[in-house]
Amino acid sequence: MPTATPSTPSSSNVGRGPVPLGSGTAVVGLQWGDEGKGKVIDLLAGSFHAVVRYNGGANAGHSVVINGKRHALHLIPSGAFHPGVRAVIGNGVVLDPDVLFTELDRLADAGVHSLDLLVSDRAHVVLPWHKAEDAAREAGLASGSSGSIGTTRRGIGPAYADKAHRAGAIRVGDLLRPASLREKLARISVGKERVLDALDPSGGVRGSLPSVASLADDLLRTGERLKPFVTDTTYALHDMLARGHGILFEGANATLLDVDHGTFPFVTSSNCSVLGIPAGTGVPGVHLKRVIGVMKAYCTRVGGGPFPTEQDNEAGNRIRERGREYGTTTGRPRRCGWLDLVALRYAVMLNGVTGIALMLLDVLSGFDEIRLCTAYRVGGRMIDRFLPDAETLAEVEPIYEAVTGWKDEIGGCRSRDELPPAARAYVEMIEQATGVPVEIVSVGPDREQTVLG
Ligand code: IMP
């Protein structure tokens, strides 16, 4: 197992200073997701004992490079491939066993056979009816006046809803108790059939589901395969902390998609900000010593919902093509726009961010002029506060400040001094607006294309 002291040159400099012993560091997205958290986790993970997922499920997507090949992962923490780093799926995650096993198999094919994985016995299981319900509800919304949320259709919302309903939920621990699992599935399926019939009277959705008996058989096989990994991860994490180990919490999705603090209802169904860590792992906030907020140099969003700085024009198209802004989970083209400093300040405040990782700065090379939103105008008034309610946020008009762009490609820069002056000034504007140091600047997809400090 690694010690909590940074061991590699790349990670020792990241975040200025050693990893605090026996404490947590969080990596969290500050916008609407896809900020490049995977690369930041990859840079940091080697210095930690464990990387922990605390929220979301297979709706998240990150790519990791293993033996020179890129793999898209949705559930396994992206830092898990550093030798000796333990991967933990906490109780706050909704776990789709099919996706987990597909990922484990794919990793085995790539030569990763001995993943040190722990799965919480209290994580909730995403079942076929959750995915069916997600799709049926989205179809219903799409035909109405308010439009769909644009979910990933991975069953996330219905699985969290069942967690809140309690009686309709299956947790990982249930997969290890055959008799009670069969009884629970038989009981729950009756209610599920009613819900699916109401959502889709044609019966098509319900008809696509497996029988209760075959679902139970399938889940019991899942339980057998999961058994070696299943444990009380809360105690496991506290044991690690007591031994002085460093733990890295990997946020999935991102702050503006947080169910309580994001642009509701166009959000996901979990607390994706660092506020989700205590509930999603059992580790209280007092252990969280560093929070690395990950942001793009611009903004993107997938799915529906307000996006004040969206550029549905040439500038947005240019960002999309240069940034390869297409979803990892769904392949959908992402909506693109200028950086929103109002939203960014809000996300920094909510997460208690101690350092920023600024990603994809290279995508902005070549613009004559770059715009940043510094305030909103709403009802004739200027405000500098974010409005985390979709209907209210949809009303704001962004107020921009324009800055001169830079022409040169910056993928080869390895220090701030090597960045063109206009790019350096852009980084400093972000530091000034947030009051937080930019500790990492990413200028390309490769590990080496990183400017520290
Ligand atoms: P759900 O999480 O599949 O229910 O989707 C709810 C909303 O969150 C949709 O707009 C999704 O596109 C968005 N979303 C969920 N996860 C991610 C993510 O990891 N990156 C970006 N958007 C996401």
Whether 375 maps to a domain, the answer reads yes
- Least confident among 327-331, 345-349, 381-385: 327-331
CATH number at residue 286: 3.40.440.10
Q: Which amino acid residue places its CA nearest to atom 11 of ligand 1?
A: 151
> 3-state DSSP: the chain helix, strand, coil percent, rounded to 5?
35, 20, 40
* Count of CB atoms situated within 10 Å of the CB of 273: 29
Measured N-to-C along each axis, helices 212-226 and 178-199 cross at an angle, to the nearest 10 degrees, of 130
Q: 348 φ, ψ to 5°? A: -65, -45
Binned at pLDDT 50, 70 and 90, residue 20 comes out as low
How far is 117 from 385, CA to CA, in rounded Å? 41
**Domain identity same for 382 and 233:** no
Q: Which atom of ligand 1 is nearest to the CA of 253?
A: 19
Q: How remote is the CA of residue 173 from the centroid of ligand 1, in Å? A: 27
For residue 423, the SS3 value is helix
Q: What spacing in Å lies between the alpha carbon of 6 and ligand 1's midpoint?
A: 33
The best mutation among 253, 269, 273, 326 to test binding of ligand 1, ranked by most ligand atoms within 8 Å of the C-beta, falls on: 253
Q: Is the pLDDT of residue 1 over 60?
A: no
- Output the CA angle 63-69-70, nearest 5 degrees: 15
Q: Return the pLDDT at 370.
A: 98
Query: 331 CA distance to ligand 1 centroid (A)?
Result: 12
Would you list the DSSP string of 341-352? Answer: HHHHHHHHHHHT
73 with 139, same domain: the answer is: no
For residue 342, being part of any structural domain is answered with: yes
Same domain, 118 and 131: no
Among 152, 162, 336, residue to substitute to test ligand 1 (most atoms within 8 Å of Cβ): 152
> Could you identify the atom of ligand 1 that is nearest to the CA of residue 304?
10
- Does residue 52 share a domain with residue 153? no
Q: How far apart are CA 40 and CA 45, in angstroms?
A: 8
Do 51 and 85 share a structural domain? yes
Choose one of 211, 226, 241: the last residue of a domain. Answer: 226
Report which ligand 1 atom has the smallest distance to the Cα of 134: 4
Q: Which of 292, 325, 344 is the last residue of a domain?
A: 292
Whether 146 shows a pLDDT value over 90: the answer reads no
Query: Between β-strands 50-53 and 86-89, what pairing exists: parallel, antiparallel or unpaired?
Result: parallel
- Which of 187, 206, 204, 210 minimizes the C-alpha distance to 195? 206
In this structure, are 100 and 75 located in the same domain?
yes
Domain that holds residue 433: 294-452
- Count of domains observed in the chain: 3
Distances (CA, A) of 13 to 9, 17, 245: 7, 7, 19
Q: How far is the CA of 127 from the centre of ligand 1 (A)?
A: 18
Nearest atom in ligand 1 to 61's CA: 19
| 258 and 345, same domain (yes or no) | no
Q: At 336, is the pLDDT very low, low, confident or very high (cuts 50, 70, 90)?
A: very high
Nearest to 277 by CA among 234, 320, 309, 239: 234
User: For residue 442, what is the domain's CATH number?
Assistant: 3.90.170.10
Best CA proximity match to 429, nearest among 349, 352, 340:
340
- Ligand 1 centroid, distance to 359 Cα (angstroms): 20
Ligand 1: residue whose CA is nearest its atom 9: 151
Does residue 298 fall inside a structural domain? yes
CATH of the domain at 195: 1.10.300.10
Ligand 1, residue 257: give the atom nearest the CA: 8
Pocket test of ligand 1: the residue of 126, 154, 302 to mutate, having most ligand atoms within 8 Å of its CB, is 302
Where does ligand 1 bind, in terms of residues with CB under 6 Å? 32-34, 59-61, 149-152, 154, 156-157, 252-253, 257, 266, 268-269, 302-303
302 Cα nearest atom in ligand 1: 12
Q: Is residue 189 part of a domain?
A: yes
Domain edge (last residue) among 292, 310, 329? 292
CA angle 227/104/186 to nearest 5° reads 50
Does the residue 2 lie in any domain?
no
Is residue 13 in a domain?
A: no
pLDDT for the residue 3:
34
This prediction's pTM = 0.92
Cα gap 319→321, rounded to integer Å: 6
Write out the two tokens for 450. 């990183």
Q: Mean pLDDT over residues 394-416, rounded?
A: 97
Distance 20 CA to ligand 1 centre (A): 32
Model confidence at 402, pLDDT cuts 50, 70, 90, reads very high
Task: Please indicate, yes or no, whether residues 158 and 196 belong to a single structural domain of this protein.
Answer: yes
- Active site residues per annotation: 34, 62
Residue 196 has pLDDT above 60, yes or no: yes
pLDDT of 10 over the 60 cut: no
Kindly state whether residues 96 and 218 are assigned to the same domain.
no
Average confidence (pLDDT) over 48-64: 92
Distance 412 CA to ligand 1 centre (A): 33
For residues 253 and 36, is the Cβ–Cβ distance under 8 A?
no
For atom 8 of ligand 1, the residue with the nearest CA is: 268
Q: Answer whether residue 1 is part of any domain.
A: no
Same domain, 138 and 71: no
**Distance between CA atoms of 218 and 228, rounded to whole angstroms?**
17
Q: Within a domain: residue 39? A: yes
Which of 257, 266, 301, 307 has the most ligand 1 atoms within 8 A of CB, as the residue to mutate? Answer: 257
